[in-house]
Amino acid sequence: MFMRKVANDRVSRWSKRSPIVIGLINNMPDTALRGTERQFCALLSAASRDFLVRLKLFSLDEIERSETARAHIARYYDDLRELEEDPPDGLIITGAEPRARDLKDEPCWSGLSRLADWTRDNAISTIWSCLAAHVALLHADGIKRYPMESKLSGVFECQFSSSAHDFTNGTPSKWFVPHSRYNGVCEDELSSRGYSILSSSPATGADIFVKHDNGPSFFFQGHPEYDSAALLGEFRRDIGRFLRCELERYPDMPRGYFDGCLEAELEKFRERASANRNPELLHDFAAIVPESSLQSPWLPTAMRIYANWLSFLSEQRSRRIDQSNHFFVDAEPLRRLA
């Protein structure tokens, strides 16, 4: 889906047959960097049956990286400054693991705020994910995130709005979607500031919502891009932190994710881990849950949502090309006469 970048690699933007260019600004930590690339590559590939899609990778400079991650980014990612020189047709901006109580103290605050201004001023349709969505909401409209009593983690049933919207055209009335976050935003506050809620549930609050500025901009508090093992990896990571005494409390099991038999086995493991906080126990955890046993029932609906977005981007690009070609003058005959 993406290739090693090469100098002067430019796809002609003046042909309706050229790919839709999507920029993925990947702000996930080093441990999740490549997994996030794979997840979005797989989802866009599955959603793009009717379109050619080219994915360009970016990351904020403010995020601290290991030497290995910096080498990977240098090889496969483009410089953010290229966004202004050659804007993509659409952007996906990921969140990051929360680090600060105050959102403005997050390392990515300034970079994401600049992106929010740039996408609005340049009418780039953008998908904002999780923490990136919270930054964009606070920066643009003063909507604050609020901390939850405990981490919201699991697969939750959400209801789509009865109001028709092209972004959710062809989706079922309900879907099960992963959420993994410590913070949320108030639905009433979103509505009062012009956001339309497209999907929600009592457990998650607003799941997907949209604001029609120049873009429009779409916001996900959930993670429809997750593969079947993503929540398992996060749960295992948090258990490791507990066993190393980096977390005081054993992490809650993701809700609606494991079947009853696995939940029973994982509860036994929790009792062992709580009695003996030994990092070596993490090896036993890996044997309890085979990744092949996990399902991802949200992916067909996620594919439909992203296919709808790609269709919108394709229509917008065709309109821009038609408008540009209306004023285009072929200078080649003039050069031959000179």
DSSP 30: H
Q: Which residues are catalytic?
A: 130, 223, 225
For CA atoms 70, 139, 315, 46, the dihedral sign is positive
**Cα-based angle 52, 56, 57 (whole degrees, multiple of 5):** 145
Per the CB < 8 A criterion, the answer to whether 53 and 44 are in contact is yes
E-strand stretches of the chain:
20-25, 53-58, 90-93, 125-129, 146-160, 174-184, 196-201, 205-211, 217-220
Locate 176 and state its tokens: 């099960």
Pairing of strands 53-58, 205-211: unpaired
**Cα-based angle 148, 149, 152 (whole degrees, multiple of 5):** 60
* CB crowding 280-299: b at 16 or more within 10 Å, else e: ebbeebeeebeeeebebebb
Of 41, 32, 209, the C-alpha closest to 127 is 209
The H-or-E segment that residue 171 falls in is none
